[in-house]
Structure 1
Amino acid sequence: MAQQKMLKFVNVERDMPQKRVPDLRKKDYDEIYQEFAAVKAEEQASRCSQCGVPFCQTHCPLHNNIPDWLRLTAEGRLEEAYEISQATNTFPEICGRICPQDRLCEGNCVIEQSGHGTVTIGSVEKYITDTAWEKGWVKAAKPFAERDESVGIIGAGPAGLAAADMLRRQGVQVTVYDRYDRAGGLLTYGIPGFKLEKDVVMRRNKLLSDGGVEFVLNTNIGVDISFADLRAKHDAILIGTGVYKSRDLGGPGAGNNGIVKAIDYLTASNRLNFGDTVPEIESGELSATGKKVVVIGGGDTAMDCVRTAIRQGAISVKCLYRRDQKNMPGSQRETQNAIEEGVEFVWLSAPKGFTGEGDVSGVVVSKMRLGAPDASGRQSPEEIPGADYTEDADLVIKALGFSPEELPTLWDTPELEVTRWGTVKADFQTHATSMDGVFAAGDIVRGASLVVWAIRDGREAADSILDYLNNASAVAAE
Structure 2
Amino acid sequence: MSQNVYQFIDLQRVDPPKKPLKIRKIEFVEIYEPFSEGQAKAQADRCLSCGNPYCEWKCPVHNYIPNWLKLANEGRIFEAAELSHQTNTLPEVCGRVCPQDRLCEGSCTLNDEFGAVTIGNIERYINDKAFEMGWRPDLSDVKPTGKTVAIIGAGPAGLACADVLTRNGVKAVVFDRHPEIGGLLTFGIPAFKLEKEVMTRRREIFTGMGIEFKLNTEVGRDVQLDDLLKEYDAVFLGVGTYQSMRGGLDNEDAPGVYDALPFLIANTKQIMGFGETADEPYVSMEGKRVVVLGGGDTAMDCVRTSVRQNAAHVICAYRRDEENMPGSKREVKNAREEGVEFQFNVQPLGVEVNANGKVCGVKMARTEMGQPDAKGRRRAEIVPGSEHVVPADAVVMAFGFRPHSMEWLAKHSVELDSGPYYRPGRQRKRLPDQQPENLRRWRYRSRFRSGGHRDCRRS
Question: TM-score with structure 2 length normalisation?
Answer: 0.91
In 2: Cα distance, 1:463 partner to 1:44 partner: 27
Question: Are 2:160 and 2:456, in contact at CA under 8 Å, matched by a contact in 1?
Answer: no
Partner of 1:287: 284
* RMSD of Structure 2 on Structure 1 (CA): 2.5
SS in structure 2 at match of 1:366: strand
My pick for the range that moved more, 326-335 or 146-155, is: 146-155
- Is the partner of 1:4 in helix, strand or coil? coil
2:266–2:283 contact (8 Å) kept in structure 1: yes
Sequence identity percentage: 43
In the TM superposition, residue 246 of structure 1 has moved relative to its aligned partner by 0.3
Q: Secondary structure at the match of 1:184?
A: coil
Task: Give the corresponding residue for 1:460.
Answer: 455
Q: How does 1:46-61 map to 2 (within 5 A)?
A: 46-61=45-60
Q: 2:377 is matched by which residue type in structure 1?
A: R
CA gap 1:82/1:422 in 2 versus in 1, 3 angstroms: closer
Partner amino acid, structure 2, of 1:309? S
Q: 1:248 to 1:453 in 2, by over 3 A?
A: same
Alignment match, 2:9: 10
Aligned residues: 447
Aligned-residue offset at 1:168: 1.4
What residue number does 1:381 align with? 380
Greater helix share, structure number = 1
Equivalent residue runs for 1:240-255 within 5 Å: 240-255=238-253
Which residues of 2 match residues 19-418 of structure 1 at below 5 A?
19-113=18-112, 115-139=113-137, 141=139, 144-278=142-276, 286-356=283-353, 357-407=356-406, 409-413=407-411, 415-416=413-414, 418=416
Q: Tell me, in whole angstroms, the C-alpha distance in 1 between the residues paired with 2:215 and 2:455.
A: 24
SS in 1 for 2:266: helix
TM-score when scaled to structure 1? 0.88
Distance in 1 (alpha carbons) for counterparts of 2:279 and 2:218: 24
Q: CA deviation at 1:402?
A: 0.2
Rounded to whole Å, the distance in 2 between the matches of 1:6 and 1:81 is 22
Offset, 1:171: 2.2
Distance in 2, matches of 1:34 and 1:261, equals 31
- Against the structure 1 CA distance between its residues 205 and 366, is the aligned structure 2 distance closer, same or farther, given a 3 Å change threshold? same
Q: Is the CA contact 1:143–1:168 (under 8 Å) kept in the aligned structure 2? A: no
Contact 1:160 1:458 in 2 (8 A): no
Maintained 8 Å contact 1:6/1:48: no
Question: Contact 1:7/1:48 (CA < 8 Å) preserved in 2?
Answer: no
Name the CA distance, whole Å, in 2 between partners of 1:26 and 1:399: 21
Structure 1, unaligned runs of 5 or more? 427-433, 465-478
AA matched with 1:293: V
Contact 2:160–2:448 at 8 Å: present in 1 too? no
Assess, with a 3 A threshold, how the Cα gap between structure 1 residues 124 and 462 changes in structure 2: closer, same or farther: closer
**Structure 1 contact 295–319 (Cα < 8 Å) conserved:** yes
> Compared with structure 1, are the counterparts of its residues 279 and 314 closer, same or farther at alpha carbon in structure 2 (3 Å cutoff)?
farther
Q: How far does the alpha carbon of each residue in 1:108-142 deviate from its partner, in whole angstroms, 9 at most, with x for none? A: 001214x1110000010001111001100124755
Kept in 2: contact 1:5–1:75 (CA 8 A): no
AA partner of residue 438 (structure 1): L
> 1:218, CA displacement in angstroms?
2.3
Deviation at 1:417, TM superposition (A): 5.4
Does the CA contact (< 8 Å) of 2:164 and 2:456 recur in 1?
Answer: no
Q: Residues 127 and 220 (structure 1 numbering): CA distance in 2 closer, same or farther, change over 3 Å?
A: same
Return the alpha-carbon distance in structure 1 between the equivalents of residues 124 and 299 of structure 2: 24
